[in-house]
Amino acid sequence: MLNTVSISGTPGTGKTDVSKALVEKTGYELLDVNEVVKNSEEIEFVKDEERNTLSVDIGSMRKVLEEKVVDKTVLEGHLSHHHGSDMIIVLRCSPEELEERLKSRDWSEKKIRENVESEVIDVILQEAVNMHGDKVIEVDTTGKNSEEVAQEIQEILEGKKELEEYRPGTVEWSKEYLYG
Ligand SMILES: Nc1ncnc2c1ncn2[C@@H]1O[C@H](COP(=O)(O)OP(=O)(O)OP(=O)(O)O)[C@@H](O)[C@H]1O
Ligand SMILES: [Mg+2]
């Protein structure tokens, strides 16, 4: 089994739920990167009031994560791919389903649309691949519950799955989203 694994992806793809289920199954430690950012005095962040998001100083965050990450850790959060984990898993979700999931949050239409669009154009996946190349895989969560996704990831970590099926580029939303 790998030592450290990052679970990243667009908000609403299920990182938190899936990671909780995954650590229950595997006994890994769980590190919630958003919590680390909020609680560390060494990491600078600015609150973007309009978007209601945090703009985080990535350099200092990486330094703090280096210190915090112990053996056998799952790092979860939309910034977790900035850590140099042994494997970076980007969760994906179809635009239609993601929109439904995000609608149950108390978010503005604009914020929901921005996040769905960033899922469509692979923002986090591209960022992760640019940083970590073939350590990155993507796992589609569409039509699956978090328990099923966690099970699939466990099998990937145990080497029971063909990694080729999860290579970046496997998931493709833009055609369907743009042309119906
Ligand atoms: N595989 C899934 N299928 C359907 N719904 C899911 C799935 N995984 C999570 N959900 C639901 O979707 C919502 C978003 O899940 P979750 O909070 O885990 O996302 P997240 O990626 O951690 O988002 P954030 O980046 O905002 O923390 C929750 O309501 C959760 O119950
Ligand atoms: Mg979360």
* Cβ neighbours, 10 Å, residue 68: 15
Q: Which amino acid is at 72?
A: K
Residue 148 CA: nearest ligand 1 atom is 1
Nearest CA to ligand 1 atom 10: 14
Helix/strand/coil for 37: helix
The residue whose CA is least distant from atom 8 of ligand 1 is 14
Q: Which of 6, 7, 16 most suits a substitution to test ligand 1, by most atoms within 8 Å of the C-beta?
A: 16
- Give the β-pairing of 53-56 and 87-92: unpaired
Q: Where are the domains of the chain?
A: 4-179
Nearest Cα to Cα of residue 54 among 91, 31, 79, 74: 79
Which amino acid, one-letter code, is at 168?
P
Q: Which pLDDT value is given to residue 40?
A: 95
Asked if 56 and 43 touch (Cβ cutoff 8 Å), the reply is: yes
Nearest residue to 11 (alpha-carbon basis) of 92, 89, 110, 126: 92
* Longest Cα–Cα distance in the chain: 46
CA distance linking residue 174 with residue 179, whole number of Å: 8
Query: Token digits for 91?
Result: 């969760």
Return the pLDDT at 70: 96
CB atoms within 10 A of CB 47: 10
Burial class (CB in 10 A: 0-12, 13-18, 19+), 60: middle
- Domain at 4-179, CATH homologous superfamily: P-loop containing nucleotide triphosphate hydrolases (3.40.50.300)
Residue 137 is which amino acid?
Answer: I
What is the reported pLDDT for 48? Answer: 80
| pLDDT-flagged residues of the chain (< 70) | 180
